[in-house]
């Protein structure tokens, strides 16, 4: 199922080859369970996914929840749902908080190998020493002493902030970030929602442990991890493990939406946003609600690729991808924004038959009964126009002999309208239409649409001459739709 889809993309946009991937790969997508996935996550998720699909292998969803401060209990499920929406070919899911004993065991081994020591120095003090390239007193402790202290960490002898496990690296390393970085710390609060613990690995340790244990062969991640990759290298070397192949893509600037989880959460709590799928947010749920297809997100992200340069995400490109997907399937309807009522003199009852899709007559058509009074967009009625063509219906002249202007039927001929260069506009029978609110990122547009739109709940339609819209809710009061894009 995915194969055919993928080949279609692969035909046009091949990702660069990964070295050592010929016999298949094991890759992973490793988000924090702190909230729903957003476009930034989608890049990591889709890129890794694409390579697994290209070379074959396993794709691990690894939920990285080793900092209880950054865990939202609901996000475990949210992350899975969003991953599924994106169409990721996840073959297995692991959660780091389930694996604490594994990390503890490896930590003991690392200490035994002399690759780590337990440090009881004050944080600021250690920092000073680190900057001065000098060893702290703990660094010279015997392995036995370190093991003893490690046991005391585990048995609650120490409290938060009093002790940490450090990886022995190179104190003379030119980059201070490399020097004896921490691997474990104690966190007494808040409690972890998933597990009872107080000793937690830092990301650099748990990532190495899991990448090794799970057999990860290739890692594609953002360049904010370049320093971590170098740090993690020290741990691999202590254990003598094989290092995966890494690729670091550049920073992606995304304008116009909120991406910060804390900002989103705050806004939702305060009522600024309606929820995680508020269309002003950059979450995948928000995109879905607006009618962006997951394949459009995939294609847009794959087109960006794994370049190391910093880029700005292009909504235009995403919309173009989405339009390719949605245009062939979206039914067309009339939506009249900011409507004015026009009574048309001399109009006998007409029935309009408009195609549901202009390029596919087999989909059938919709019928609109005009009895003489119609709704038209206010923006189309101005003194520059003397004649209008109501699309699929007939022609009307406008006379500005008073306020409001008067409308008169002037025949059915499309050719006449063309000759007069009359604008062809959408309209609705005044007696047979429903209120419709179109929600855009800029604000709400009030109007009316065809009653048949109610049957498109959950789908993307095209409001002719307005743009694509996702039908979000229908009720006796009318229709709520989200503007997707033009």
Partner RNA sequence: GCUGCUAUAGUGUAGUCCGGCCAAUCAUGCGGGCCUUUCACGCCCGCGACUGGGGUUCGAAUCCCCAUAGCAGCACCA
Q: Which stretch binds RNA (CB under 7 A): 40-48, 138-146, 155-163, 445-453?
A: 155-163
CB of 475 to RNA, least distance (A): 26
Instruction: Please state the closest distance from residue 228 (CB atom) to RNA, in A.
Output: 5
Which range touches RNA (CB under 7 A), out of 59-67, 102-110, 136-144, 473-481? 59-67
Which positions ≥6 away from 204 have C-beta within 8 Å?
167, 181, 183, 228, 231, 232, 235
What DSSP string runs through 358-389?
A: TT-GGG-EEEEEE-SEEEEEGGG-STT-SEEE
**Residue 66 sits in the site that holds RNA (CB under 7 A):** yes
Residue 104 has, within 13 A of its CA and on its CB side, a CA count of: 16
In the range 400-419, which residues lie near RNA by CB under 7 A?
A: 412, 414
Among 332, 350, 366, 470, binds RNA (CB under 7 A): 332
In the set 172, 189, 359, 403, which binds RNA (CB under 7 A)?
359
In whole angstroms, give the CA distance from residue 468 to residue 482: 9
Q: Report the nearest approach of RNA to the CB of residue 367 (Å).
A: 13
- Within 13 Å of residue 202, how many CA atoms lie on the same side as its CB? 14
To RNA, the closest distance from the beta carbon of 397 in angstroms equals: 16
Identity of the residue, 162 or 444, whose beta carbon is nearer to RNA in the bound complex:
162
Q: Is there a contact between 99 and 175 (Cβ–Cβ < 8 Å)?
A: no
Token couple for 172:
């003379």
Q: How far is the CB of 135 from RNA (least distance, A)?
A: 16
**The residue to which tokens 């699309």 are assigned:** 391
One residue of 148, 308, 369, 477 binding RNA per CB under 7 A: 308
Residue 47 touches RNA, criterion: CB under 7 A: no
The runs of H, that is alpha helices, within 260-314 are 261-270, 284-290, 294-304
As a 3-state breakdown, the chain gives helix, strand, coil percent values, each rounded to 5, of 35, 25, 40
Q: Compute the radius of gyration of the chain from its Cα atoms.
A: 30
Note every long-range contact of 103-107, with CB atoms under 8 Å and residues 24 or more positions apart, other chains counting: 103/184, 103/201, 103/205, 103/206, 103/209, 104/154, 104/199, 106/205, 106/209, 106/239, 107/150, 107/165, 107/183, 107/184, 107/201, 107/205
Residues in 362-391 at the binding interface with RNA, rule: CB under 7 A: 380, 389, 391
The CB-of-399 to RNA minimum distance in angstroms stands at 21
Q: Does 161 bind RNA (CB under 7 A)?
A: yes
The residue (of 261 and 278) whose beta carbon lies closer to RNA is 261
| Segment contacting RNA by CB under 7 A, of 28-36, 234-242, 257-265, 281-289 | 28-36
x/- letters, 230..259, toward RNA (CB under 7 A):
--------------------xx--------
Report the run of H or E that residue 152 belongs to, with start and end. Answer: helix 143-154
CB of 357 to RNA, least distance (A): 7
User: Of residues 213, 245, 320, 452, which one binds RNA by CB under 7 A?
Assistant: 320
Are 426 and 379 a contacting pair, CB within 8 Å? no
Tokens coding 146: 């370190």
Q: Select the residue interacting with RNA from 6, 18, 27, 32 (CB under 7 A).
A: 32
Shortest approach of RNA to residue 150 CB, angstroms?
A: 14
Task: Give the pairing of strands 57-63 and 92-95.
Answer: parallel
User: Applying CB under 7 A, does 127 fall inside the site for RNA?
Assistant: yes
Q: Residues binding RNA: what is the number (CB under 7 A)?
A: 73
Task: State which of positions 172-231 bind RNA (CB under 7 A).
Answer: 174-177, 182, 185-186, 200-203, 223-228
Q: How far is the CB of 306 from RNA (least distance, A)?
A: 8
């Amino acid at each position: 199922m995915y194969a055919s889809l993928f080949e279609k993309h692969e035909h046009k946009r091949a990702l660069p080859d990964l070295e050592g991937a010929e016999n298949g790969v094991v890759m992973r997508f490793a988000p924090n369970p702190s909230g729903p996935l957003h476009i930034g996550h989608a890049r990591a998720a889709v890129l890794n996914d694409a390579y697994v699909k290209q070379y074959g292998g396993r794709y691990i969803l690894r939920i990285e929840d080793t900092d209880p401060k950054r865990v939202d209990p609901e996000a475990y499920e949210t992350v899975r749902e969003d991953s599924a929406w994106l169409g990721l070919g996840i073959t297995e899911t692991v959660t780091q908080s389930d694996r604490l004993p594994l990390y503890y065991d490896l930590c003991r081994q690392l200490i035994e190998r002399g690759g780590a020591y337990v440090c009881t120095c004050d944080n600021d003090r250690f920092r000073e020493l680190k900057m001065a390239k000098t060893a702290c007193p703990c660094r010279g402790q015997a392995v036995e002493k370190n093991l003893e202290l490690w046991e005391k960490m585990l048995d609650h002898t120490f409290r938060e902030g009093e002790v940490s496990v450090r990886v022995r690296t190179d104190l003379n390393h030119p980059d201070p970030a490399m020097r004896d970085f921490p691997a474990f710390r104690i966190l007494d609060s808040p409690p972890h929602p998933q597990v009872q613990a107080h000793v937690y690995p830092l990301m650099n340790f748990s990532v190495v442990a899991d990448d090794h244990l799970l057999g990860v062969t290739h890692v594609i991640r953002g360049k904010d991890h370049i320093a971590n990759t170098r740090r993690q290298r020290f741990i691999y070397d202590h254990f003598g493990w094989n290092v995966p192949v890494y690729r670091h893509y550049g920073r992606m600037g995304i304008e116009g939406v909120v991406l910060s989880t804390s900002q989103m959460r705050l806004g939702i709590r305060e009522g600024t946003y309606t929820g995680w799928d508020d269309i002003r947010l950059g979450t995948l749920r928000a995109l879905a609600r607006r009618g962006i297809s997951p394949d459009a997100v995939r294609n847009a992200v794959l087109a960006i690729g794994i370049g190391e340069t910093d880029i700005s995400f292009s909504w235009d490109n995403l919309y173009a991808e989405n339009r390719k997907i949605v245009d062939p399937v979206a039914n067309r309807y009339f939506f009249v924004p900011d409507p004015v009522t026009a009574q048309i003199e001399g109009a006998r009852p007409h029935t309009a038959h408009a195609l549901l899709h202009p390029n596919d007559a087999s989909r059938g058509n919709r019928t609109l009964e005009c009895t003489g009074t119609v709704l038209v967009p206010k923006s189309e009625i101005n003194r520059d126009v003397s004649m209008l063509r109501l699309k699929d219906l007939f022609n009307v002249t406008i006379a500005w002999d008073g306020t409001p202007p008067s409308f008169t039927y002037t025949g059915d001929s499309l050719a006449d309208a063309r000759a007069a260069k009359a604008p062809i506009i959408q309209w609705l029978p005044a007696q047979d239409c429903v209120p419709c609110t179109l929600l855009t990122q800029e604000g709400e547009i009030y109007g009316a649409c065809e009653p048949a739109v109610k049957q498109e709940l959950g789908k993307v339609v095209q409001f002719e001459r307005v743009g694509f819209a996702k039908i979000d809710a229908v009720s006796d009061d009318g229709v709520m739709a989200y503007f997707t894009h033009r």
